[in-house]
Structures are given as C-alpha cells and as structure tokens.
Structure 1
C-alpha cells in the first residue's frame, strides 16, 4: 500500500531500529552464559533504540510531541499530534533469547490514533495501518478472522509477573475463558498480540496493566482490519486505562461478556 509521508517515516524508522536491535539480539545468546547476564546490555539496547526512533521521528516532524517507554514525554509545538513509541515490546523475550518481540510506533492526532506500525525484525513482518486505508502485513491486506464460535477460537493475553496486583483477576479470567474456547496463548508481546488479531492468527485478545505505548499502534491496526477494540470498562479511555479487549465482530460481544464478568 502506498502510505502517507508520515506512515513512510514510521516504517523507515522502525526498520532502522530493527536492524540495530537484531544485532543486539545476536549478542544475547553469548551473554546468557556470562556471570553478569544480559540484563544491563538489554536495557542499554532498549534505550538506544528509543533514542534512535525519537531522533529520526523528531527530525522528520520537529513540531510533534513524543511519548516513549524509556524517556520523559516531550510536548511538541503542535499540541494535536504526538508519536507514541515502544522501542522494544517483549523485552523479557528479548532478554531470554526468545525471537518474539517488536517495535511499535503510533501517531496520535487530536486524541485519536491515526496511524500505527508494529515491526517484528526477526520475522521481517511489518504490520501497519492508517485511518481509513485498511491494515496490512508487508504487501498483503489484513482481515480479522471470520470465526463465530467461541469453542473454535484462540485468544491471547498477558499473565502478570512477580505477584503484580492484577494477577488474581487474570487467573479468574482464565478460569472463565478457557472452558469456552480452543485455547489461550501468552507469547509476551502485547503489540504482536494485537497485530496477530488483525491478521486472524488470534480471534481475540485481552489484558490489564498495559501502557499507551504497548497498545497504541495495535489499536488502529485491529480496527482497520475489521476488528472491535474497547477498554475493559466501557466508560474508560483505552490509552489511559491500559485495559483492553478486542476480537472479530462475530464473537466480540460473547468474548467481552466473559472477560468483563470480573
């Protein structure tokens, strides 16, 4: 798809950051066996990727604001436009040498996400969308799955780590949803979970405790692929609440009802 100038900047920047992270990822396996481990190295790689992305995006659009995972938010001269960036979604996977992580870049205009890019460098899969122009994976148009029976559907979520406060709610969710479906997956990257819903690989996704940079790009990609995306509580803001549920249209109401019973 021929995208706008903004989308082209986002895709070019994501690929550039991806090349750097791939080189870093190649070093992680060597660091796994060292006494110090790869933790500090991965933290530096994460920060370096955000710095690269911020530099390139701000050079292309110096008046836009910037919200990233690693640094302070930057207010732009244009208060209506803001980049929302996760330079490395799936850091724990990256840290352990698991090849499932991505770069997520979104553009917000007047409070609405109008463009999004999720790039998986390991698989060279570029998921992207612009408002009104559909969702794409590389050169192929994306559509959410057409399944309409819960028992045939696969869902994705994130399971809180380290005794986080929302762990009991998630365990209750799993107890309700697992008897009704074909399976639940936990792959460790919310951005890719959303991209996979858009691609029809998953039929739905839900999670609590996320941040704007985890989900901003995925929101528009799922919507432009024909999916429904809502906050877990209908009166909340998706980006502010960090609680999300999405699915294809035929199963959304049933799926969301099960999750929202909490």
Structure 2
C-alpha cells in the first residue's frame, strides 16, 4: 500500500540518480558499447535494460505492489492504482554516439492522472522534477514560470522522424511554417529532456507531431512543464496525454499562436 506520495517522489528521484550513475559510467565507454537494433534507428544497449532494472528494483523495494510500464520491459500490471512510467535512457542514439545529451525519465500516474515527473541529466547532475500541485524544481531550487518571448525571439525544440518511424511529410511542413517566424529550432535528441527544459526557459516551447513518440518519452516532461506554468496539449487542444499522437508545450501567452501556426500546415 502506498502511504505517502512524497515518499514515492523521493524514491523515484533516488531511482533516477542510481540509474544516472550507471549511465555516466557507460558514457565514458562511448564508441565501445555493444547494442542491438530493435527497428530502424531504434537501438537498445546493456545500459538501457540495466538502468531500467535499477529503477524497478529501487522503487519496488519500497513499494512492492506498484505497477510499472517500462520502455524495455513493457507493462508489469498489479492491482495498484499507481503506475511508474520509465524511459531509462531517453536519447540512446546520442548515448551510443558519444553525444552528451540524454536523460533518465520517470513519471507516475495515479489512475489516469500524471502526478509525478522526474527527468535527470546525469552528465550535468541536473534533476528536473515536479509533483502535481507543488511546482517544478531544478535539484532543490523551485522554478518560476519563464517570461514569454515574442515569436520572433523564441527558441523551440522538437523531435524529428527518421527512417520508418514517424511522418516526415508533416514534420517538414511544420518546420517550414515555423522556421521563418522564430529565432531557432533545435532537435537535440532527448524528448523528455527538451520538454522538461522548457521549465528552465532553455527552450521557449516544445512540439512534436511527425516523430512517433511513446508515452514514456513525454510523461515526466509533461508533469514538469505543466507545474512550471506551461500549457501542454496535443495539436487539437486535447489535454489528456493518453489520447495524444502529437504534443505542444508553450507559455500560456504563446500556446495559441504556436498552435495556430502548426495546424495551418
């Protein structure tokens, strides 16, 4: 039985730290890590599965009845109303190629509601986290909602499709619609980290439609962005992530303008 959501939050944060420590160790071997290919440009290494196992072991040792949905292990159902959503290494391609941009992403749902999000950048030792109704934090520092910028000053992040995964046509049309209007568009390669980083103002918005993102790619970042004051929906305006096949996170003053631009394609 889960007695305290705060205890669960602290356990999730500890699990992210422990998985991140393993990834830091693995990153030092860059270029020499064995991996398997799950699909077109879809890789999995020892570190993906080992980090996920660390997270599951850490959380289940405190909350043995909780359910898990992991990118590598799939769904482990229980009678619990709580489910831990895990992307143990978001940015595997970056990790394998020695690009220092990847994260551990863990979210928790209670019923159908996202209540906890933790995204940890192990190389910078930066943990972005939030729980429903308490605001967003960087490590121990509470975050204020970043000031909105006008569209022509905005730096926006996205995930782009590749090979057989996603819709290149819609991604290209949306890029063409935004590129003349904003200060820059970035696709660094860890959706969880980019979405969560809107809470820091490093990106003014995040969107994705062409890329085929899974729930574990975005769940933690959605909690953090929302608790930082951002509006997060899909491109039809739907607020429930379980119904999404697209995503936009932006300051409330800019959300509508960006949504109109992206849906005009």
TM-score, normalized by length of structure 2? 0.90
Tell me the SS of whatever aligns to 2:29: helix
The Cα of 1:110 is off from its aligned counterpart by: 1.6
How far did residue 237 of structure 1 move? 4.1
Contact 1:215 1:239 in 2 (8 A): no
Check conservation: 1:148, 1:250, Cα contact below 8 A: no
Q: Deviations over 1:189-225 (max 9, x none)?
A: 0011111111111110001311110111111100110
Higher share of residues assigned helix: 1
SS in 1 for 2:179: helix
Residue pair 1:119, 1:127 contacting (<8 A) in 2 also: yes
Alignment map for 1:74-223 (pairs within 5 Å): 74-78=76-80, 80-208=81-209, 209-223=212-226
What is the rounded CA distance, in whole Å, between the counterparts of 1:58 and 1:104 in structure 2?
A: 17
Is it true that 1:47 corresponds to 2:43 in the alignment? no
Question: Hey, what's the Cα distance between the residues in 2 that align with 1:141 and 1:200?
Answer: 13
Q: Against the structure 1 CA distance between its residues 69 and 42, is the aligned structure 2 distance closer, same or farther, given a 3 Å change threshold?
A: closer
**Partners of 1:162 and 1:6 in 2: CA distance:** 38
Shift of 1:242: 3.9
Whether the 8 Å CA contact 2:83–2:110 is kept in 1: the answer is yes
Alignment of 1:29-40 (within 5 A): 29=31, 31=32, 38-40=34-36
Q: Which residue number in structure 1 is paired with residue 259 of structure 2? A: 256
Q: How many equivalent residue pairs?
A: 253
Tell me the CA shift for residue 156 of structure 1: 0.4
Is the Cα contact below 8 Å between 2:34 and 2:46 reproduced in 1? no
Residue ranges of structure 2 left out of the alignment (5+ in a row): 37-42
CA deviation profile, 1:214-244 (whole Å, cap 9, x unmatched)? 1111111001101000012234742343421
| 1:163/1:75 CA distance change after superposition, 3 Å | closer
Report the Cα distance in structure 2 between the residues aligned to 1:181 and 1:244, rounded to whole angstroms.
18
Work out whether residues 232 and 239 of structure 2, in 8 Å CA contact, stay in contact via their aligned partners in 1: no
CA apart distance, 1:162: 1.2
How far does the alpha carbon of each residue in 1:49-90 deviate from its partner, in whole angstroms, 9 at most, with x for none? 111111111221122110010012011221x21000100000
- Unaligned runs of at least 5 residues, structure 1: 32-36
Deviation (angstroms), 1:163: 4.5
How far apart, in 1, do the equivalents of 2:238 and 2:28 lie?
A: 44
**Counterpart selection for 1:9 from 8, 11, 16:** 11
**Does the 8 Å CA contact 2:158/2:206 hold for their aligned counterparts?**
yes
Pair 1:235–1:116, CA change in 2 (3 A): closer
Query: Structure 1 residues 230, 161: closer, same or farther in 2, change over 3 A?
Result: same
Distance in 2 of aligned mates of 1:177 and 1:94 = 29
SS of 2:30's partner is helix
TM-score (norm 1): 0.91
- In angstroms, what is the RMSD of aligned CA positions? 1.7
Q: Which residue in the other structure is 1:229 paired with? A: 232
